[in-house]
Amino acid sequence: MDAQSVKNTDTAENKGYDAGKKVSGIKRHIAVDTQGLPHALHITTANVTDRDGAVSMIEKSKTDLSETKKALVDGGYSGEKFATKINELIGATVEVVKRNELHKFVVLPKRWVVERSFAWLEKCRRLWKNCERKINTSLQMVVMAFLGLLLKIF
Domains of the chain with CATH codes: 2-153 (3.30.420)
pTM for the full predicted model: 0.88
For residue range 33-73, list pLDDT tens digits in order: 989 899 999 999 999 999 999 999 999 999 989 899 999 99
Q: Say what the pLDDT of residue 90 is.
A: 95
3 state DSSP class of 27: strand
Tell me the one-letter amino acid at 54: A
Query: What are the residues whose beta carbons fall under 8 Å from the beta carbon of 88, sequence distance 6 or more?
Result: none
Ranges 9-23, 54-68, 83-97, 102-116: which has the least confidence: 102-116
Nearest alpha carbon to residue 94 among 122, 74, 123: 74
